[in-house]
Amino acid sequence: MSDTVTLFRPVGPDELKLIEKADFEAFPPRLPEQPIFYPVTNREYAAQIARDWNTKYSSKEGFVTQFEVQAAYCAKFDRKVVGGKQHEELWVPAEELEEFNEKIVGKIEVIDHFKAAE
């Protein structure tokens, strides 16, 4: 078993700026109306959200981030399938995001960038 799990998070430019401000080492705290932080377990699903959801709103851009988290820590969170079998998310309560960030191994990387069609 690997010591880390690779996760992905689709983000918009505002969240990406906050990640950059944290030196690509942490995700920003959730807003009051966001009780769950949900990284996803595969790149295809993250790209689908970034491409098909993020690009339809204000900035018209979406990004996919990739990062590693300690596997033993991740095991405590529920995995939820929210559509087809490829739509798997890790559900992290917002109040645990600070601890989650501490379990990230290495840097958060931007691996995809999508823009709305003009």
Q: Where are the domains of the chain?
A: 4-115
Helix-strand-coil percent breakdown of the chain, rounded to 5?
30, 35, 35
Count of Cβ atoms closer than 10 Å to residue 38 Cβ: 16
Distance CA 66, CA 2 (A): 16
pLDDT digits (tens, 9 = 90+) for 38-92: 999 999 999 999 998 888 877 799 999 999 999 999 999 988 888 777 889 999 9
Q: Letter for the amino acid at 11? A: V
8-state DSSP, 83: S
> At the top level of CATH, which class does the domain 4-115 belong to?
alpha beta
Are 108 and 69 spatial neighbours (Cβ–Cβ below 8 Å)?
no
Q: What is the pTM of this model?
A: 0.92
CA-based end-to-end distance of the chain: 45
pLDDT digits (tens, 9 = 90+) for 84-116: 778 899 999 999 999 999 999 999 999 999 998
